[in-house]
């Protein structure tokens, strides 16, 4: 049991070091690639056990919360192919329990990744379920704290279908 927990913790730490998989301090990244950047919000008091948290979008893992943070709002980013992007699952840990929630098709509306550039999104978990929202104040704060080279107003919100 302890060996398994140690292995899982080590893997989580290594994987979370890749949480921001784009160079967010380079304006060229946002001009030359396609993908998403945004905020992931989890409810206050939600147990994460020090594990990184991720969502799976079109078969790609997107780390939305780094290891060992108690922040409720975290910036995430990921290069993705243009077109429809669907959230397939959510992974989190609590104490020694790891949980993956797989979503049925169309549980979340699809986001549309633009043909050129990035779009932004706020993904929230709340008592009412999982949902997208727009929150300029939150994104402005996170972009400033993370020293993102692009102003959030220069990145459009992801279209949702």
Residue 45's pLDDT is 61
User: Tens digit of pLDDT per residue, the chain (161 long)?
Assistant: 544 444 444 444 444 434 444 566 677 777 788 999 999 998 666 666 678 889 999 999 999 998 888 788 999 999 999 999 999 999 988 777 888 889 887 778 899 999 999 999 999 876 667 889 999 999 999 999 988 989 999 999 999 98
Domain range summary for the chain, segments of one domain joined by +: 2-160
Q: What per-residue confidence (pLDDT) applies to 97?
A: 83
Is residue 2 classed exposed, middle or buried when 0-12, 13-18 and 19+ CB atoms within 10 A define those classes?
exposed
Contacts 24+ apart (CB under 8 A), 4-7: 5/96
Residue 49 confidence (pLDDT): 61
Compute the distance between CA of residue 154 and CA of residue 103 in angstroms, rounded to an integer. Answer: 31
Instruction: Look at the block and give the residue holding tokens 């893997």.
Output: 11
- Predicted TM-score (pTM) of the model is 0.80
DSSP assigned state of 107: S
pLDDT value at residue 57: 95
CB within 8 A of 11, min separation 6: which ones?
Answer: none
pLDDT at site 72? 86
Residue 20, pLDDT score: 41
């Amino acid at each position: 049991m302890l060996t398994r927990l140690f292995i899982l913790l080590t893997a989580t730490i290594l994987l979370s070091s890749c949480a921001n998989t784009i160079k967010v301090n380079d304006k060229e990244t946002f001009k030359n690639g396609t993908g998403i950047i945004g905020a992931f919000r989890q409810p206050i008091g939600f147990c994460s056990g020090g594990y990184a948290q991720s969502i799976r979008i079109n078969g790609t893992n997107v780390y939305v919360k780094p290891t060992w943070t108690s922040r409720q709002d975290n910036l995430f980013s990921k290069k993705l192919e243009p077109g429809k992007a669907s959230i397939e699952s959510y992974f989190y840990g609590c104490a020694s329990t790891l949980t993956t929630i797989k979503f049925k098709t169309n549980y979340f509306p699809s986001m549309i990744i633009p043909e050129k550039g990035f779009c932004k999104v706020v993904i929230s978990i709340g008592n009412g379920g999982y949902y997208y929202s727009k929150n300029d104040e939150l994104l402005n704060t996170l972009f400033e704290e993370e020293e993102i080279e692009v102003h959030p107003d220069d990145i459009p919100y992801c279209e949702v279908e």
